[in-house]
A and B are shown apart, each in its own frame.
Chain A
Amino acid sequence: RKEVEQDPGPFNVPEGATVAFNCTYSNSASQSFFWYRQDCRKEPKLLMSVYSSGNEDGRFTAQLNRASQYISLLIRDSKLSDSATYLCVVNGRDSSYKLIFGSGTRLLVRP
C-alpha cells in the first residue's frame, strides 16, 4: 500500500465548477500536510498547508481529518488556469523533514 494515495483522475470540469480532491495517508504519526500544484513539465510548488482546523485561501479550502487519515482540497469557481496536477503531501516520521508525495490528481478545466 502506498503511504499517500490519491485518485489520479483526470477530473474534467467546466469553468466555474466546484471540484474536490481527496487523499489518504497511512502513517498516523505524520505531523504536517500540504497540497502542492504541478503544471505540465514544471516543478511542484506549494499551494497550501493543511491544518486540523481547516483553512481557506481564496477559492481553495483544505481540510484534514486525523482520525480517518484523510485530506481534502476543494476548489470553487474553477478557472482555466487551475488546470494542473495536484499533489497531496505529508511529512515523514523523523527530523529530516522528508516529504512523502502522492502520485497526484490531474485537473482539466474546460471553457
Chain B
Amino acid sequence: NAGVTQTPKFRVLKTGQSMTLLCAQDMNHEYMYWYRQDPGMGLRLIHYSVGEGTTAKGEVPDGYNVSRLKKQNFLLGLESAAPSQTSVYFCASTQQGAGQETQYFGPGTRLLVL
C-alpha cells in the first residue's frame, strides 16, 4: 500500500514549456486534490475532483488544467509554464463521509520555472 505517490519529484522548466504532474493513490479514494504551497502562503487549492470523470476549480486554477480519467489517477497540467508557477505541488486524496475528511498527501513535486 503506497498511499499517494507523485511523479516527478523535481522538475525545471523554461517559460512557455508544458508538463504534466501525475498523482496516483491506491486507497480507492473518491476525492482528490491538487495544491500549491509557496513560502508564507500555506497550501492553496488549485483543482479538485469528487470522482472519476469529474473536476472542479479551486482557489487558484488559472494556468492549470486537470483530468481524472481513472479513479486512482489525477493529472495536473501546465500548458505554458510561467515563473509565477514555481512552487511545491502537493496532491491529496480522501475518503467520503462526515468525519472522514482526513486528507492523505503525496510527497510533493518541486517545480522551478526559469
On A, residues with C-beta under 8 Å from B are 4, 8, 31-32, 34, 41-46, 49, 87, 91, 95-99, 101-104
Contacts and interface: CB of A to CB of B under 8 A. Distances in A.
Interface of B: 31, 33, 35, 40-45, 48, 50, 56, 58, 90, 94, 96, 98-99, 101-103, 105-108
A103 B41 contact: yes
Q: In the complex, which of the residues A45, A91, A101, A102 has the most CB atoms of chain B within 10 Å of its own CB atom? A: A101
A49 B50 CA distance: 22
Contacts of A43: 90, 105-108
A102 to B, nearest CB: 6
Contact of B42 (A32, A87, A96): A87
Nearest to A44: B105
A98 B43 CA distance: 12
Nearest to A8: B40
B34 to A, nearest CB: 12
